[in-house]
Amino acid sequence: MTLFSRFANHINAALDALVARGELAADLSRTAISVEPPRDASHGDIATNAAMVLAKPAKTNPRALAELLVAELAKLDEVEEASVAGPGFINMRVADESWRQELALIHAQAQDYGRSAAGKGIRVNVEYVSANPTGPMHVGHCRGAVVGDALAALLEFAGHDVVREYYVNDAGAQVDVLARSAHVRYRQALGEDVGEIPEGLYPGDYLKPVGQALAAEYGDQFVGQPESAWLLTFRSFAVEKMLELIRSDLAKLGIHHDIFSSEAELQAAGKPAAAEAWLREQGLVYDGVLEAPKGETPDDWEPVELPLFRSTQFGDDQDRPIKKSDGSWTYFGADLAYHYQKAQSADELIDIWGADHAGTVKRIKAAVAALTDGKTRFDVKLVQMVRLLKNGEPFKMSKRAGNFVTLADVVDEVGKDAVRFTMLTRKADAQMDFDFAKVIEASRDNPVFYVQYAHARIASLKRRVADAGIVLVDPAPSRLSDDELPLIKLMAQFPRIVDAAASAREPHRIAFYLGDIAAAFHAWWNMGNDKPEARVVRADDPELTATRLYLADAIGQIIRNGMALMGVTALEEMN
RNA sequence: GCACCCAUAGCUCAGCAGGAUAGAGCGUCGGAUUCCUAAUCCGAAGGCCACAGGUUCGAAUCCUGUUGGGUGCACCA
């Protein structure tokens, strides 16, 4: 058990003791109690607000309750000192030995240090990317892909049962456009001069291989045929090819989904109709006419009666159509059924969306609340736009066809690790600049480099020791100095950072924590520059060398564990 | 017009389910290089946490309003 979780137990046990003696009511909620390092290290190692949180419901004053708790906590061997501070904080100083044991625990648990059971095996479905299957991944998809993937890994590490899902929008008008575009490329592959790709179709070169594959598969049987003869065939063929393309793009980023769910299959299986029928029974779908949109009214606006979902009942601004006037499902109508389907096999749902879809959050939340009777927790995580820069200047790609920057271009340019790490150095809901020059820059202000450099330095220590022919003996943690214990204290926070990041659904916290770890390590390392006796590699003292290497190695382990959550590979050497 | 997101040092951003004296990098200024990778480190200066109210023992954090920026706003996805 990690140190912080053990102290959480200590505090609970102390509260139990007060309850047993009748000094505290038994039924008080303890969920708001924190166990964390105080902001100012001079206050001690661990602080808790337990007395302040419980004082009011216990009808006592915080300091009095704190005194009682302090008396209990001070009995513990690993508590050197416990005191009441300020309005009722309890500060504790933890025995050095406990920190040394935590260091041993990091080594013992290695890649599992930080893994927790906090998620209690709750089944969480994380849906991310879900880009339309009409072309290669665009750079705009990049951030959501990385955030979703890192969040999934984080939740898994924190004890959730995670499913990574991709929703394939293969039923709308955009895939008909894809099929028509593929048909042009098909004719081209058969030798026809198709000239410019007609307006409104997808012009990208990436459809040429699709055309060729279609030609190889079907010969010329669909040339000169009406659309009805080939549309469905071409559509599913092209969609399948686009999914292959997307999967390969995602693989470049190290992303692999467990499930690809097809909107077309969902509709074919009658799921939207079933959802509609059920919602009509509940009175949550009715036939009605929407008001004209406020602001700029489109010229071609005309009132039409449509089946509407009563999302206003759940806080949306207006009710939302689930079918179009031609009888086909709207995106929302199908999406509603899709979320219902996901909720069948998960306890919690998370969608990662681009911020441009912010306007549709309320309706889908309303739908999930209606369909699951409010029982399924459902979060939509909005990922803000990324501005592409090169040396501070807006970046423009000079690609002939399409003129867009693909995800593959970005990964090829700066590498998977730099892309992933950089995408996680901002809160997802804050806008971000992505500067091609900066993310590969080898300097302090590039967190990717800075953290990698720390890890590489640790690896170099091991090589140095081997090169120096030092025969390592068992480490002697008692020889760790006062400059070195704080490093353990920082490492010991990793498990609680993981839990906090998971429950807040904020993977960026891992990146910032790794930056802190790296900074502490670099500072420690540099002490060896100022004072040779502070160096790790000490040919004159194999035991001290082994001890410091033991410490450094643990730091490397923490960095690797954090990087693994981010999907980034830790480097052994900088080049 | 409406909804959602954002507003913290000159710049770019953290701030951990409301906690103690709001932090880091860059930039500026001053230091460390016979060094295990100085690609690093140490120190200093720099703040009305956009503004105004409210909630309570306690607010950058929660609520309301205002201002300023971003995104979106019919059957598109």
Residues A196-225: pLDDT tens digits?
A: 999 889 999 999 999 999 999 999 999 999
Specify if A364 maps to a domain.
Answer: no
For the ranges A23-32, A221-230, A352-361, A397-406, the lowest mean pLDDT is seen at A397-406
Nucleotide nearest to A429 (CA to C1'): B5
Pairing state between β A35-36 and A79-85: unpaired
For the ranges A268-282, A315-329, A543-557, the lowest mean pLDDT is seen at A315-329
A291 C-beta neighbours (distance < 10 Å), count: 8
**What spatial distance separates the first Cα and last Cα of chain A, rounded to whole Å?**
38
pLDDT at residue A28 above 60? yes
Same domain for A78 and A182, yes or no, is no
Please write the tens of the pLDDT for every residue from A464-509: 998 888 888 999 999 999 889 999 999 999 999 999 999 999 999 9
Specify if A272 maps to a domain.
Answer: no
Chain B nucleotides close to protein (CB under 7 A) are 1-7, 12-26, 32-33, 35-42, 57-58, 70-77
For A75 and B71, how far is CA from C1' in angstroms? Answer: 56
Specify if A479 maps to a domain.
Answer: yes
pLDDT at residue A279 above 90? yes
Same domain for A558 and A460, yes or no, is yes
Same domain for A90 and A190, yes or no, is no
Nucleotide nearest to A291 (CA to C1'): B74
Same domain for A447 and A551, yes or no, is yes
**A317 compared with A521, residue with greater pLDDT:** A521
Nucleotide nearest to A87 (CA to C1'): B57
- What DSSP element (H or E) covers A261? strand A259-262
For A355-497, list the strands marked E by DSSP.
377-383, 386-390, 393-394, 432-435
**Final residue of a domain: which of A208, A229, A252?**
A252
Residue A463 sits in which domain range?
A: 442-566
Q: What is the pLDDT of residue A302?
A: 80
For A322 and B72, how far is CA from C1' in angstroms? Answer: 19
**Final residue of a domain: which of A212, A234, A252?**
A252
Same domain for A555 and A451, yes or no, is yes
- State how many domains chain A has: 3
CB A203 within 8 A of CB A402: yes
Q: What is the pLDDT of residue A297?
A: 63
For A422-509, list the strands marked E by DSSP.
432-435
For A535 and B34, how far is CA from C1' in angstroms? Answer: 16
CB A193 within 8 A of CB A229: no
Specify if A558 maps to a domain.
Answer: yes
> Nearest CA to A246 among A153, A327, A133?
A133
Same domain for A201 and A86, yes or no, is no
**How confident is residue A295, by pLDDT bands cut at 50, 70 and 90?**
low
For A246 and B16, how far is CA from C1' in angstroms? Answer: 36
CATH at A526: 1.10.730.10
**How confident is residue A294, by pLDDT bands cut at 50, 70 and 90?**
low
Specify if A516 maps to a domain.
Answer: yes
Same domain for A447 and A556, yes or no, is yes
CATH at A89: 3.30.1360.70
Specify if A296 maps to a domain.
Answer: no
Same domain for A198 and A89, yes or no, is no
- Give the angle subtended at the CA of A37 by the CAs of A31 and A43, to the nearest 5°: 120
pLDDT at residue A27 above 60? yes
**Final residue of a domain: which of A225, A252, A279?**
A252
Average pLDDT estimate for A296-300: 66
For A530 and B32, how far is CA from C1' in angstroms? Answer: 7
HSE at residue A235, side-chain half, CA atoms within 13 A, is 17
**How confident is residue A399, by pLDDT bands cut at 50, 70 and 90?**
very low
For A138 and B61, how far is CA from C1' in angstroms? Answer: 35
Best-predicted range by mean pLDDT among A105-114, A320-329, A379-388, A535-544? A105-114
Q: What is the pLDDT of residue A296?
A: 59
Specify if A145 maps to a domain.
Answer: no
Rounded Cα gap, residues A384 and A404, in angstroms: 19
Specify if A168 maps to a domain.
Answer: no
pTM for the full predicted model? 0.95
